[in-house]
Homo-oligomer: A and B are copies of this chain.
Amino acid sequence: MMRIGVADTTFARVDMGGFAVDELRKTGTGFKIQRKTVPGVKDLPVASKKLLDEDGCDLVIALGMPGKDPIDKVCAHEASQGLIQVQLMTNKHIVEVFVHEDEAKNQKELAWLAERRTREHAANAYDLLFRPEQLTRNAGKGLRQGFGDVGPIG
Protein backbone atom coordinates (compact mmCIF):
# COMPACT_ATOMS: atom_id res chain seq x y z
CA MET A 1 0.00 0.00 0.00
CA MET A 2 1.24 3.48 -0.93
CA ARG A 3 1.89 6.07 1.73
CA ILE A 4 1.30 9.80 1.22
CA GLY A 5 2.80 12.34 3.57
CA VAL A 6 1.07 15.61 4.40
CA ALA A 7 3.29 18.34 5.87
CA ASP A 8 1.79 21.62 7.00
CA THR A 9 2.42 24.54 9.34
CA THR A 10 1.06 26.36 12.40
CA PHE A 11 1.93 29.61 10.58
CA ALA A 12 -0.79 29.09 7.94
CA ARG A 13 -4.15 30.64 8.72
CA VAL A 14 -6.18 27.81 7.21
CA ASP A 15 -6.04 24.10 7.97
CA MET A 16 -4.52 23.20 4.61
CA GLY A 17 -3.43 19.81 5.93
CA GLY A 18 -7.00 18.98 6.79
CA PHE A 19 -8.19 19.84 3.29
CA ALA A 20 -5.43 17.75 1.73
CA VAL A 21 -6.34 14.71 3.81
CA ASP A 22 -10.02 15.14 3.04
CA GLU A 23 -9.47 15.52 -0.71
CA LEU A 24 -7.10 12.56 -0.92
CA ARG A 25 -9.71 10.37 0.80
CA LYS A 26 -12.38 11.53 -1.65
CA THR A 27 -10.13 10.96 -4.67
CA GLY A 28 -9.20 7.32 -4.29
CA THR A 29 -7.95 4.47 -2.21
CA GLY A 30 -4.83 2.34 -1.96
CA PHE A 31 -2.82 4.61 0.28
CA LYS A 32 -2.29 5.56 3.90
CA ILE A 33 -1.75 9.16 5.03
CA GLN A 34 0.95 10.34 7.42
CA ARG A 35 0.74 13.91 8.71
CA LYS A 36 3.42 16.13 10.24
CA THR A 37 2.99 19.76 11.31
CA VAL A 38 5.85 22.21 11.75
CA PRO A 39 6.04 25.91 12.71
CA GLY A 40 6.74 27.50 9.28
CA VAL A 41 7.52 26.85 5.62
CA LYS A 42 11.28 26.72 6.25
CA ASP A 43 10.69 23.65 8.41
CA LEU A 44 8.85 21.86 5.60
CA PRO A 45 11.92 20.53 3.72
CA VAL A 46 13.26 18.44 6.59
CA ALA A 47 9.76 17.45 7.67
CA SER A 48 9.13 16.19 4.13
CA LYS A 49 12.46 14.40 4.04
CA LYS A 50 11.69 12.64 7.32
CA LEU A 51 8.27 11.61 5.99
CA LEU A 52 9.96 10.12 2.91
CA ASP A 53 13.02 8.62 4.61
CA GLU A 54 11.79 7.61 8.04
CA ASP A 55 8.07 7.12 7.59
CA GLY A 56 8.31 5.40 4.22
CA CYS A 57 6.13 7.86 2.32
CA ASP A 58 6.10 7.60 -1.47
CA LEU A 59 5.12 11.23 -2.02
CA VAL A 60 4.60 14.30 0.15
CA ILE A 61 2.22 17.23 -0.14
CA ALA A 62 3.94 20.24 1.45
CA LEU A 63 1.52 23.01 2.41
CA GLY A 64 2.32 26.56 3.44
CA MET A 65 0.98 30.10 3.48
CA PRO A 66 3.83 32.61 3.15
CA GLY A 67 3.11 36.13 4.32
CA LYS A 68 3.06 39.30 2.22
CA ASP A 69 6.31 40.98 3.35
CA PRO A 70 9.63 40.79 1.46
CA ILE A 71 11.14 38.60 4.18
CA ASP A 72 8.25 36.16 3.74
CA LYS A 73 9.01 35.91 0.03
CA VAL A 74 12.62 35.06 0.84
CA CYS A 75 11.52 32.38 3.32
CA ALA A 76 9.20 30.85 0.72
CA HIS A 77 12.04 30.84 -1.82
CA GLU A 78 14.39 29.10 0.60
CA ALA A 79 11.70 26.56 1.46
CA SER A 80 11.06 25.84 -2.22
CA GLN A 81 14.75 25.34 -2.92
CA GLY A 82 14.87 22.93 0.00
CA LEU A 83 11.82 21.03 -1.18
CA ILE A 84 13.35 20.57 -4.63
CA GLN A 85 16.58 19.39 -3.05
CA VAL A 86 14.72 16.78 -0.98
CA GLN A 87 13.09 15.44 -4.12
CA LEU A 88 16.49 15.06 -5.80
CA MET A 89 17.89 13.28 -2.73
CA THR A 90 14.99 10.83 -2.57
CA ASN A 91 13.77 10.51 -6.19
CA LYS A 92 10.24 11.09 -4.95
CA HIS A 93 7.78 13.86 -5.72
CA ILE A 94 6.85 16.59 -3.27
CA VAL A 95 3.81 18.54 -4.39
CA GLU A 96 4.39 22.05 -3.06
CA VAL A 97 1.22 23.99 -2.29
CA PHE A 98 2.04 27.54 -1.28
CA VAL A 99 -0.62 30.23 -1.05
CA HIS A 100 0.81 33.71 -0.59
CA GLU A 101 -1.23 35.99 1.65
CA ASP A 102 -1.11 38.75 -0.96
CA GLU A 103 -2.52 36.61 -3.74
CA ALA A 104 -6.02 37.22 -2.45
CA LYS A 105 -7.80 40.55 -2.05
CA ASN A 106 -9.25 39.75 1.38
CA GLN A 107 -9.31 37.10 4.08
CA LYS A 108 -12.39 35.39 2.69
CA GLU A 109 -10.82 34.95 -0.74
CA LEU A 110 -7.57 33.83 0.89
CA ALA A 111 -9.35 31.06 2.78
CA TRP A 112 -11.20 30.03 -0.38
CA LEU A 113 -7.98 30.05 -2.43
CA ALA A 114 -6.03 28.01 0.12
CA GLU A 115 -8.72 25.35 0.21
CA ARG A 116 -9.20 25.15 -3.55
CA ARG A 117 -5.49 25.10 -4.41
CA THR A 118 -4.87 22.45 -1.78
CA ARG A 119 -7.67 20.26 -3.09
CA GLU A 120 -6.58 20.58 -6.73
CA HIS A 121 -2.99 19.78 -5.85
CA ALA A 122 -4.08 16.81 -3.74
CA ALA A 123 -5.63 15.47 -6.94
CA ASN A 124 -2.34 16.11 -8.76
CA ALA A 125 -0.51 14.20 -6.04
CA TYR A 126 -2.88 11.29 -6.50
CA ASP A 127 -2.34 11.36 -10.26
CA LEU A 128 1.46 11.43 -9.91
CA LEU A 129 1.31 8.24 -7.84
CA PHE A 130 -1.59 6.32 -9.35
CA ARG A 131 -2.42 7.59 -12.84
CA PRO A 132 0.44 9.58 -14.41
CA GLU A 133 -1.12 9.11 -17.86
CA GLN A 134 -3.84 11.53 -16.73
CA LEU A 135 -1.22 14.26 -16.40
CA THR A 136 0.22 13.56 -19.83
CA ARG A 137 -3.27 13.85 -21.27
CA ASN A 138 -3.35 17.38 -19.86
CA ALA A 139 0.13 18.42 -21.02
CA GLY A 140 0.15 21.99 -22.33
CA LYS A 141 -3.45 22.64 -21.31
CA GLY A 142 -2.71 25.76 -19.25
CA LEU A 143 -4.02 24.26 -16.02
CA ARG A 144 -3.84 26.27 -12.79
CA GLN A 145 -4.51 25.34 -9.16
CA GLY A 146 -6.64 27.75 -7.16
CA PHE A 147 -7.79 30.43 -9.60
CA GLY A 148 -9.27 29.27 -12.92
CA ASP A 149 -7.31 27.53 -15.66
CA VAL A 150 -5.99 29.82 -18.37
CA GLY A 151 -6.27 27.16 -21.03
CA PRO A 152 -4.24 26.20 -24.08
CA ILE A 153 -3.34 28.57 -26.91
CA GLY A 154 -2.21 28.30 -30.51
Interface residues of A (CB under 8 A from B): 8-18, 35-39, 42-43, 45-47, 49-50, 53-54, 71, 73-75, 77-82, 84-89, 91-96, 100, 107-108, 110-112, 114-115, 121, 124, 128, 132, 135-136, 138-145, 150-154
* Alpha-carbon distance A99/B70, docked complex (angstroms): 14
Q: A46-B92, A88-B46, A91-B53 are in contact. Are A139 and B39 (CB under 8 A)?
A: no
CA A86 – CA B88 in complex, angstroms?
Answer: 7
Majority-rule SS of A interface residues: helix
Instruction: Please determine whether B96 and A42 come into contact, CB atoms closer than 8 angstroms.
Output: yes
A44 to B150, CA, bound (A): 20
Contacting pair A10 B138 (CB below 8 A): yes
Structural contact, A93 and B139, CB atoms closer than 8 A: no
A124 to B78, CA, bound (A): 20
